Structure 1
Amino acid sequence: MVRPFFSAVALDERFVQLERIRIGTRGSPLALAQAHAVRDGLVASAGLEADAVEVVVIKTTGDKVLDRPLAELGGKGLFTKEIEDGLLDGSLDVAVHSAKDVPTVLPDGLVLAGYLPREDVRDAFISLTAKSFDDLPEGGVVGTASLRRGALVKRLRPDLKVVNFRGNVQSRLRKLEEGVVDATLLAMAGLNRLGRPDVATAVLEIDRFPPALGQGAIALEIRADDAATKAALAPHLDKATGIALAAERSFLATLDGSCRTPIAGHATLDGDRLSLHGLIATPDGARVEEQTLDGTLAEADSIGRALGAALKERGGPDFFVDWV
């Protein structure tokens, strides 16, 4: 079942002093679906007319350059910088991001207000000729722009060829139909939000194919001093997702992770306990280090930092070299 992005809630009018809200987003169908969900939620709860909440499409560096692997473009802020520039110059009030795209260090003056309820964190295997990785032919071609996915593919099947595969969901599916690759990988969260879970040939279990840190979560970024917008967003933010992402992002920050580094992980909550599993790999998948740490919800940030430090020590000084 596809979960709603936003729940309809009432907001105490004492905290709202807004005449309009401008929401910055990328222009892909998935990004627009996420932004319009935020827009609809704000219209329903913030006492604003529909035309007072505007969705503004911003083309980011990651959208402009499609013929090169993400790792070659620098790795950090590829899908957020230009939108963040709009927040900083006052032309935007809220930035809607896929959380896995948000760097661990934000520009001065910006903060994450929080996250919408998290979707399915798993990856989908998609192929027109094979039911799973095991069914792909010897030397089959898998397309992905993610070093994490590429490394995990090679870990499972060293014989497979991994090629750079950029573009939005629709363009990747079209390339698959054209036979450019034998298989590709997409986030189940994105397919669910587009109403296309049927596209998945198989859903990959987390223990075999752990997700990107933050996968499945939508992050809302605002100016640090914008109390009115923060108050308008607050009722829609999901506390459990925020706790899980605190652990995952501190883990990523400790490893200084970027698109140049294959890193995976996922935090789960059970009552007042949090468990964080993390993995680092070489891009060829030949070497993998992984570990799990547990603690209380209040320790989310420190659990992430401790796990990052532990895997960094296990990897040693030569693990995180510049692979590009």
Structure 2
Amino acid sequence: MVLPNVMSGLGARHGLYTLSLISLGAGWLSTWQSNWVAAQLREDGYDIEIIQISTSGDVLDGPIGAIGSQGVFTKEIQRSLMANEIDFAVHSLKDLPTDDVEGLCLSCVPLRETIGDVLVSSAECSLHDLPPNACIGTGSMRRAAQILSQRPDITVRDIRGNVETRLRKLDEGQYDAIVLAEAGLKRLELFDRISHVIPTEIMIPAVGQGALGIECRRGDAHVRSVLDVLCDDRSFIAVTAERTMLRALRAGCLAPVAAWGRFENNALVLTAVVLSADGTERCDVEQRCELLIEERDSQLSQAAGLGRSVAAELIGLGAEEMIAQARGA
């Protein structure tokens, strides 16, 4: 595991900004995320103070869906933002709820990492090569439903904890394999733990997977301008389509909903699926739109329109009923 050197590249001082670290006990991935953002801004000459904030999602045990609701990893951080205790916060974007929080905004999305999911197993095999009745660990209903859609004979069991905890549970033999985001293992340089990259034809990623989201106070124009240097427009536009679709479905980040927004030449393409909890039913939609105006705000608006259009088509195919049934499963 390699973390960025956050003590170098200080340059001229532009002012002090605080950056929240969104885990209890500094898990590898959340540490990497916060340190990476801090390092980028320090290279531009800003002083950054990293503050650890523990969340209910970090300290409570059991399946995420049973802890309460979406946002278990973000609410405490957002309260700190609104209380002016920090200036901005780094989130794993797939964990950030899509509902607006008054006074806050998603200000920046840096260049997105790889979007896919990977199988981690001591056997170094693919999903289809796992033996019958193998036990796979995942805390995601989206992953579980897509696994069962391909391999109904597989036993899917809940797993909690950060990356290092999940890998330890696998190594202890509690599971035959686990599914993790490829982006996290790549950022931590744990390439040797990847047994198989699951193709997107088999498993579409979570909304926002592979992307970081930097949140700040909507009215803080100076901080927003500082953060803008980290923003990758195409990544921001693609995840806007995904997040708008999820919000229009009123599904939340815990539902069996997957989406992948990407650019193909000048067209924005959004592929989405909603599944039943057991993977036996699914609604698949793919739409695209041409982004002819280069100005970012206009493209973000078009991306949001694409997300709403995809959601409407999914609803017409019965997605709302599947989501409701999955929540009661």
Q: Give the TM-score normalised by the residue count of structure 2.
A: 0.90
**Paired residue type of 2:310:** L
Look up the SS of the partner of 1:172 in the other structure. helix
Q: 1:240 aligns with which of 229, 234, 244?
A: 234
Look up the SS of the partner of 2:317 in the other structure. helix
Q: How does 1:21-40 map to 2 (within 5 A)?
A: 21-27=17-23, 28-40=27-39
User: 1:151 maps to which residue?
Assistant: 145
For 1:89 and 1:174, the matched residues in 2 are separated by 37
Cα 1:170–1:272 change in 2 (3 A) is same
For 1:73 and 1:201, the matched residues in 2 are separated by 31
User: 1:19 maps to which residue?
Assistant: 15
Q: Which runs of 5+ in 1 are unaligned?
A: none
Count of residue pairs the alignment pairs up: 312
Q: Which stretches of structure 1, 4 residues or more, deviate above 3 A after TM superposition?
A: none
Give the conservation status (yes or no) of the 8 Å contact 1:148–1:212: yes
User: 2:50 maps to which residue?
Assistant: 55
Deviation at 1:261, TM superposition (A): 1.4
Post-superposition Cα deviations, 1:67-93, rounded to whole Å, max 9, x if no partner, equal x11112233211111111110001111
**Paired residue type of 2:245:** F
Deviation at 1:129, TM superposition (A): 2.4
Deviation at 1:65, TM superposition (A): 1.1
Cα 1:224–1:259 change in 2 (3 A) is closer
CA-based RMSD: 2.3
For 1:111 and 1:260, the matched residues in 2 are separated by 21
For 2:254 and 2:304, the matched residues in 1 are separated by 23
Deviation at 1:155, TM superposition (A): 0.6
Q: Give the TM-score normalised by the residue count of structure 1.
A: 0.91
User: 1:310 maps to which residue?
Assistant: 313
Percentage of matched positions with identical amino acids: 34
Cα 1:180–1:139 change in 2 (3 A) is same
Q: How does 1:1-324 map to 2 (within 5 A)?
A: 19-27=15-23, 28-45=27-44, 47-48=45-46, 52-66=47-61, 68-297=62-291, 298=299, 299-315=302-318, 318-321=321-324, 322-324=327-329
Give the conservation status (yes or no) of the 8 Å contact 1:71–1:259: no
For 2:21 and 2:165, the matched residues in 1 are separated by 19
Cα 1:316–1:233 change in 2 (3 A) is closer
Post-superposition Cα deviations, 1:173-210, rounded to whole Å, max 9, x if no partner, equal 11111110101001110011111122100011112111
Greater CA deviation, 278-287 or 267-276? 267-276
**Paired residue type of 1:261:** A
Deviation at 1:132, TM superposition (A): 1.2
Look up the SS of the partner of 1:113 in the other structure. strand
Give the conservation status (yes or no) of the 8 Å contact 1:283–1:323: no
Give the conservation status (yes or no) of the 8 Å contact 2:283–2:319: no
